A and B are shown apart, each in its own frame.
Chain A
Amino acid sequence: MPRNAYFVAIAFFGTINGLFNTGVLSFVFFHVLLLSPAILFGSGPLTFMFSSLITATATIIAAGIPAAIYERVRGQADSDEVSLLIWMAGTALLTLPAMGRFLTIGL
């Protein structure tokens, strides 16, 4: 599979989690309002979109940790197909709680 296909899949799963994982999203939204009230001029909709972006990115970085550990243990200078597969699988696993809602509602 081409590298770009992995990146698209990772971004897709992250986006789904950022949009449909209401539990994590509401937790992050509450904390963005609390810790950075001025970052988006107090706008509720903008803050919600920012929270969604944070949730999606957090999904991707959390799933990237096992892949990064694998690369460091193997002493690789660049990501290979296995580490990208680990990254994608981790993102897919973290997105499972949001998948039901995504399949019900759709994009």
Chain B
Amino acid sequence: MNQEKIVFLIAILLFCAFSLFLNGFTSAGNLLTLVRGVSTLGILGVGMAILIIGRGIDLAIVAIYAMSVGWTLHLANGGISVPLAMLIGYLFALSAGVVNGVLIAYVEVPALFATLGMASFVYGFARYALVPLYVVYMPESASGIAWIGSGFAFGVPVPILLFALVSLLGFAFLRFTKPGRFIYAMGDNFAAARMSGAPVRPMIILQYAISATIAYLAGLVTATAVASMNTNIASSSMIYDVILVVVLGGIGLSGGRGGVRNVVVGTLLIGILLNGMTIMDIQYTLQDVIRSLVLLIAIVIDSIVNPRDEQTAQQGDI
């Protein structure tokens, strides 16, 4: 009985309970809304999972997600062609990710602090120099990419399909490629991975580049779904939700174990919880409290299921 199974069980119980007691919960429309509502979170979760499995973390993922796409829309509004604006926005996201990677891999700044500082910097810099408005609306010219967030394919919303695609790619990357196996090795025992010849420093940069790419993709999904990007979300509690789906799904923060399946399970539980609370009309702030408590419980369970190993726990491993 590991954490993934526990969480999955709770999700099923919650699902059954909501189906019984909440009107319209089981309708096909609501279920699609449920999954679609958390697909952005799930996509970001896959990026975060790739990092956490390698014993890293990216607290800048939400800032990159909001500010890079915000800048893309702002540039498109300013008359630049959409593909070019997307390229520039993506390069901004990628460079933030690569700088994170360099700081962590070569300067040896702990990942927590590097990405925390980077989150503040990306938000502050974009707000100061690139994106003057809090809410950037999607321009007419960008209607060609609106299908990403609001389109349907085979009767299923595209965001859900994208979530599935990213999960599949993430799964294949982690399971079948050499870099994927290196990530597990680094998360399990960084020093051993390094000594046995894994190119750990380039790998760290690759990881943060992947997470920045995924953040940009998730940002596009959000922006095209609601035809705007609210850049204020960068300083919201969304980053904790991303960590929540990963930790909740059973990926230990000590790294080296777990997979994309855990992210899917964690995302489903959060989706059901949020959807149910919204139907029950629970106030948004109270939902925040409940989510925080759920995360707290998840961390406690995580530390009980995956106790910290005194042998490998390093100095400054906070």
The answer to whether A and B interact is: no
Chain A residues packing against B (C-beta within 8 Å): none
Chain B residues packing against A (C-beta within 8 Å): none
